[in-house]
A = this chain, B = another copy of it.
């Protein structure tokens, strides 16, 4: 948080069928629906999040991610970071307050990998879901499904990783926590954070811009990852891979797909980082182990997305 960016605050995901999508993110994953808007978008949050929403679902004919937003400390930070983005040479677009219900004004910009990001300072504070503000119990008894704890990060695929790294570290104050380097010294994966988390956002190189690899949610334990895997089977949900561990970040994870084909991750654990930590480096010849620590090879679906 060297320059006042606090956390991934929201992500807008495109889905093909809203009813199925809501069922996936609530009944299966345990998110809570908090609102809908006149455009038909559905707002969701995980129970530990204090703001009104973290996931917005938009129905359309092409899955993927519209944009990801980061919450900053306050309006002053928003103003100064906006100027820094402009000085860096990026175009910024003003999204007025309430374009997303309960959210203050947002400043949107698109980086060289083809992904749109936003900064904002204000969102309606609704408090954690299902627990009291005073003398709160450890968890709400009526959580469903996977009991997702929070929206954690996104992984994107696209070109021009050096420019993207430049923006996130030098303009937004993130630091590089983990990386994959090829033999020629090219960084083919970069995991960036504004906090202690090993990644608030991550990028893997791909020639095609603007791709979403997955949207990730935190779970409390490895037992919860097993419960998630069991629920995936019980609901006949399409699984990608897991339960397993990543080499990068060492998180314990499972990948699966929402009914529109967007990949979701739930995970627990993983390493922590501080700005003085040297980036953790994996070499491209160990990419299989870096991604899937136990199988030590990429599964076909993962490769399909890479190329």
For this complex, 14 residue pairs linking A to B, each with C-beta atoms less than 8 Å apart, are A71-B274, A125-B278, A133-B281, A135-B282, A137-B234, A195-B195, A220-B269, A221-B221, A222-B226, A229-B293, A230-B245, A233-B289, A239-B295, A242-B294
**Residues in A255-307 with C-beta less than 8 Å from chain B:** 269, 271-272, 274-278, 280-283, 286, 289-290, 293-296
The interface on chain A, measured as residues whose beta carbon lies within 8 A of the other chain's beta carbons, has a size of 62
Please judge, given known A-B contacts A136-B280, A221-B222, A234-B137, whether A294 and B239 are in contact too, CB under 8 Å. Answer: yes
Contact B73–A2 (Cβ < 8 Å): yes
Residue of B nearest to A286 (CB): B135
A7 at the interface (CB under 8 A from B): yes
- The answer to whether A233 touches B135, judged by C-beta atoms less than 8 angstroms apart, is no
- Contact flag A6-B278 (CB < 8 Å), given A196-B195, A221-B221, A233-B289: no
Task: Beyond the given A135-B247, A138-B234, A139-B230, please list 15 additional residue pairs across the A-B interface where CB-CB is below 8 A.
Answer: A1-B275, A6-B274, A48-B271, A73-B275, A137-B233, A137-B234, A138-B247, A138-B250, A138-B293, A141-B231, A229-B293, A230-B245, A233-B289, A233-B294, A242-B294
User: In whole angstroms, what is the CA distance A6 to B230 when docked?
Assistant: 31
Residues of B within 8 A of A139 (CB): 230
A79–B125 alpha-carbon span in the complex (Å): 36
Is A289 a contact partner of B252 (Cβ separation < 8 A)?
A: no
Let me know if A283 and B232 touch, CB within 8 A: no
CB-nearest residue of chain B to A50: B277
Distance to closest chain B CB from A239 (angstroms):
6
Determine if B296 and A233 form an interchain contact, defined as CB atoms under 8 angstroms apart: yes
Contact among B50, B239, B272 with A276 in the assembled complex (CB-CB below 8 Å): B50
Q: How far is the CA of A301 from the CA of B4 in the complex (A)?
A: 42
A4 CA to B1 CA, complexed, in Å: 9
